[in-house]
Structure 1
Amino acid sequence: MASSRPPRSGRALDEDDVRSRANPRGTRPRSKQRPAHEDAEAGTVFSVDRGRFGVLVDDIEVNAMRARELGRTPLVVGDHVGVVGDLSGATDTLARIVRLDERETVLRRTADDSDPHERVIVANAEQLVIVSALADPEPSFGLIDRCLVAALAAGIEPLLCLTKSDLASPDPVLTQYAPLSVPALVTRRGDSLDELRTHLAGKVSVFVGHSGVGKSTLINALVPTAYRATGTVSAVGKGRHTSSSVVALRLPGGGWVIDTPGVRSFGLAHVGADDLLWAFPDLEDGATQCLSGCEHLAEQAGCHLDAWVREGHATPARLAAFRQLLVSR
């Protein structure tokens, strides 16, 4: 604190007369070195809820928070992490997540095709189960196409699961996606899920689909202790949101299923235009015959894909779906 006492000599004060009290705090530069946490135990995030993370460590469910040194690093279900602190899993205990391991796969989406902000849904998934009802609500080919693009762009194997076959025939949907050679299976309420269990065994699979298509009903049947909320479809044909959080559940026979809230849209702003062809292999060879720089939007502009369809290599519906995705970007 500077002295305000006038000098005895009567001369004017200058800067040499000002005395400042040393600040006991903040005088020592802060070190940027962070603890290595070499003793951190390996774990996997299985749930996220308002800043708290459920982490499985050696088969023990641990409640954890993100350590300060991770800053704002986003953590999602499926992440492999390093954890320190109380790992007993006892009530009212809290561990710290101090390390995020490199992700092998990342499934992400944007709110819409113009949204520049990516939203990571899950990490380290091996399989994307695209659940679509055959009726109540009607199949959304647009959402299926988008999920296929997102899966293939992320290096995740897609699986098409069609529910409510007691209400409508699966043939139109199966015909639509037959050229892709994507595995597809059909279910109805009360039927055996053995075929689905075979596809899920030993893998980390994430379920995605509109609300009301039966995702949570399937997961409750696969994991009897899941108790995932289920709901009906509204009178306007749109599903009511049931599951409200992403959670990973261990399958009794080995493997994991990750349930996600029902989505109304699946933006692909993070996927390049060329990557869209990954979900349309029936059009890919035809696109290679287009002139360099072709935007694949119209035959009048020199696109060869229309001729490719007339030659019987793909269907008009598939070409229309591809162009719809291109235009919506």
Structure 2
Amino acid sequence: MRRGIITRFHSNFAVVRDEDEDLTTLCTLRGRFKLSNIKPMVGDRVEYILSHDRGRIESILPRTITLKRPRVSNVDTVVVVLTRSQPNVPWSMMDRIIAGVELSDVNVVLALNKIDITPKEEIKEFESIYAHYDVVLTSAYTMKGVEELEEHLKGHISVFAGPSGVGKSSLLNSILKSNLKTGSVSQATNMGKHTTTSASLMELENGGFVVDTPGFVTMNFQNLEPSKVQELFPEIKAASLGCLFDDCVHDAEPGCHVKELVEKGEIARSRYESYINILHESEGEERQ
């Protein structure tokens, strides 16, 4: 029995990248998967049997994170691509997207793209506001920051996300062109990308995989417990330890350390305002 990861899936066949060897195999699925209405996903870690140049998937190992758009499992890193020029994405939109990613409990990397056309003061402000995150300054046009971003993908299953027009696909294509592992898919698979019915995992030269299409971030916080909202804002969560009351939600309570740090400029006011907006959104659902 071998272990591997599904990198592509089509109908009743899956391309599996072996976990221990430099081997990629086209695998069939056991009939019991269809009888049990179990559909494998790209990103699934599986156990399979190899016979000659074909394989058969025997079992699917437990999944961690499962994305709906694209339909991929076991993603552990999300690269949020943002811009402050063409388009100038509002801070509030940035924060909602980042908070939506935080809901999934994955590693978050922020890529400020198009820095070749972004004023330096905008770049510095971005770095200051999001200093508690891994921030990479990138340009798909000049390839600035692409190598640094690749280091954050190493050893992970990653997906790119972000609003329209920020260059997600261009940046992703820059990484794939410069760092795609060659010869990773055998000719025997005979499954061109155009035949796949879902996203694919592309193996990178330095290790790890990246989803070949950008993802979609859900930004619905209405079913979130208000006390959990601060967990979507790492700097607010950390500062909450200094609050007078353990159950402080940093809105109207006295002795709030978070609000003190906002007044001192140690927590960006834009971040606090985004937090409050999401907090009230969650409380509105709670009162219904």
TM-score normalised per structure 2: 0.70
The whole-number CA distance in structure 1 between the counterparts of 2:110 and 2:52 is 38
Q: Work out whether 1:324 is the aligned partner of 2:277.
A: yes
The whole-number CA distance in structure 2 between the counterparts of 1:303 and 1:321 is 21
Unmatched runs of 5 consecutive residues or more in structure 1: 1-38, 90-94, 110-118, 227-243
What is the percentage of aligned positions where both structures have the same residue? 24
**1:218 shift after superposition:** 2.2
Which has the higher relative contact order, 1 or 2, with Cα contacts under 8 A spaced 6 or more apart?
Answer: 2
**1:258 shift after superposition:** 1.9
The one of 161, 165, 179 aligned to 2:115: 165
Q: Work out whether 1:187 is the aligned partner of 2:138.
A: yes
**1:162 shift after superposition:** 1.4
Q: Work out whether 1:77 is the aligned partner of 2:42.
A: yes
Q: How far does the alpha carbon of each residue in 1:266-318 deviate from its partner, in whole angstroms, 9 at most, with x for none?
A: 4356765444323423322543425455444x42x658243442244422211
Equivalent residue letter for 1:200: L
User: Which residue is 1:29 aligned to?
Assistant: none
Change (3 A) 1:149 1:222: same
The whole-number CA distance in structure 2 between the counterparts of 1:83 and 1:280 is 41
Alignment of 1:29-40 (within 5 A): 39=1
Alignment of 1:35-46 (within 5 A): 39=1, 41-46=2-7
CA contact (8 A) 1:128 1:207 kept: yes
Alignment of 1:99-248 (within 5 A): 99-103=59-63, 105-106=64-65, 108=67, 121-139=71-89, 141-142=91-92, 144-149=94-99, 151-152=101-102, 154-169=104-119, 170-178=123-131, 180=132, 182-188=133-139, 189-192=141-144, 193-224=146-177, 245-248=198-201
CA contact (8 A) 2:100 2:217 kept: no
The whole-number CA distance in structure 1 between the counterparts of 2:37 and 2:24 is 26
CA contact (8 A) 1:246 1:261 kept: no
**1:144 shift after superposition:** 4.0
Change (3 A) 1:99 1:284: same
Larger radius of gyration: 1
Larger helix proportion, structure 1 or 2?
A: 2
Change (3 A) 1:258 1:223: same
Change (3 A) 1:261 1:153: closer
User: Where in structure 1 do 4 or more consecutive aligned residues deviate above 6 Å?
Assistant: none
**1:79 shift after superposition:** 1.4
Change (3 A) 1:219 1:315: closer
Change (3 A) 1:285 1:202: closer
Unmatched runs of 5 consecutive residues or more in structure 2: 181-196, 283-288
Equivalent residue letter for 2:83: A
CA contact (8 A) 1:127 1:204 kept: yes
CA contact (8 A) 2:17 2:24 kept: yes
